Amino acid sequence: MGKILIIGGGAMGSAFSIPCLENNNLVTITEPYNKIFIKNLNSKKKFHPSLKLYLPKKLKFVNYSKEIFKKRFDLIVIALSLAGIDFIGKELKDLNVKTPLLVLTKGLKFDKKKKRILTISDLLKNNYRAANVSVLKGPCLAKELANKNKTSVVVANKNIKIAKWIGKLISTKYYLTEFSKDIIGIEICSAIKNIYAMVIGSGQNLNAKSDLFQKSANEMKFLIKYFKGDVSTILGLAGIGDLYVSAIGGRNSKMGNFLGKGFRFTAAKKKFMPKDTVEGEQLAREIAPYILKKINKKKIPLMYHLLKTIIYDRKINFLKN
């Protein structure tokens, strides 16, 4: 049993609290931004509008403030959007927090000054002096986890003992954990699969989708190697496991379908998905300045063309190749 603080009351952070509680941990959740989540998490019934269920009564909610970090926790879980990573990183740095961190957030950041791509763990370590960062990735849909459907994820840390310690804290009969030292490869896979889910979604029949899936996996393998991760990671939960889940459904695949039908991104977003966040689009805009300039387009033609499709609001064209 441990004391766990979850920062982020969205679907994934809240769903993650369920196996943590079921494993007899004392779990506290806080939400810095979203007023709707704050209101619902602070209520007696704790109904979560995104998950469409009542969270366990044992889940403790506290309003976000720096005072939270004065309390002792065994593990701090970061479940914010990518935009919130710099905010929480600065908070943890200013308060010199040494508690082990577990990052659920998926994404990459482009360091404009050093002109390089950073994983979230690198960002927290390099920019905010975080000393003990693990990441949790894999094919995990928040609603399925919240309903206790069987889910497998991978916890990564260069120190495998720490990863396994976290696994003992959070694992249940339905929430299964695997472990990896390849924190870079795990993070690269879990981020870029959102872009490749759009690529695969653009196929207008199963034969086309299958072809795009195979080519996407090969490009992911190249990119993992390029960023000095372990290429075998592509075969794991954070690689083709997560890519499969994202490709058969979800917002990125849905947007890819509209692109494949000939819509430009802005038109499809406005007409079909005006209120949806498309993570692959956000990532594309973040990493495009680096990818389009630094990597040979012949090595990653699908990624290259999709980035240009989004950045320049063009019609997709790699399907014609």
CATH number of the domain to which 79 belongs: 3.40.50.720
Both 228 and 285 in one domain: the answer is yes
User: Tens digit of pLDDT for each residue in 119-155?
Assistant: 999 999 999 999 899 999 999 999 999 999 999 999 9
pLDDT along the chain (321 residues), means of 10: 94 96 96 92 92 95 93 96 92 93 95 93 93 94 95 97 97 97 96 96 94 96 96 96 92 95 96 91 95 95 96 83 50
User: Tens digit of pLDDT for each residue in 38-93?
Assistant: 999 999 899 999 999 999 999 999 999 999 998 999 999 999 988 899 999 999 99
> So what's the pLDDT on residue 317?
80
Both 222 and 82 in one domain: the answer is no
Q: Is the pTM of this model over 0.85?
A: yes
Phi, psi of 288 (to 5 degrees): -55, -40
Q: What is the mean pLDDT of the chain?
A: 94
The CA distance from 252 to 208, in Å, is: 17
The CA distance from 109 to 89, in Å, is: 13
Both 87 and 215 in one domain: the answer is no
What beta strand segments (E) does the chain contain?
3-7, 26-30, 47-48, 53-54, 60-61, 75-78, 101-103, 108-111, 116-119, 133-137, 151-156, 175-180
Calculate the alpha carbon distances from 145 to 8, 80, 167, 176, 271 in Å: 16, 17, 16, 11, 31
Both 176 and 224 in one domain: the answer is no
- Do residues 294 and 217 touch, judged by C-beta distance below 8 A? no
Output the CA angle 301-307-309, nearest 5 degrees: 100
With CA atoms as reference, report the closest residue to 175 among 141, 203, 126, 208. 141
Q: Which domain holds residue 313?
A: 192-320
Residue 174 domain flag: yes
76: which strand partners? 5, 101
Residue 187 domain flag: no
With CA atoms as reference, report the closest residue to 310 among 267, 248, 274. 267
With CA atoms as reference, report the closest residue to 32 among 54, 56, 13. 13
Instruction: Write down the residue that tokens 């990863």 correspond to.
Output: 163
Residue 186 domain flag: no
Output the CA angle 239-245-247, nearest 5 degrees: 90
3-state secondary structure of 155: strand
- Do residues 204 and 260 touch, judged by C-beta distance below 8 A? yes
With CA atoms as reference, report the closest residue to 165 among 179, 176, 151. 179
Both 114 and 255 in one domain: the answer is no
Phi, psi of 127 (to 5 degrees): -95, -25
* Domains contained in the chain, number: 2
With CA atoms as reference, report the closest residue to 78 among 42, 117, 124, 119. 124
Q: Report the Cα 272 to chain-centroid distance in Å.
A: 23
Q: Of the candidates 137, 157, 181, which is a domain's last residue?
A: 181
Both 158 and 196 in one domain: the answer is no
Residue 304: give its domain's CATH number: 1.10.1040.10
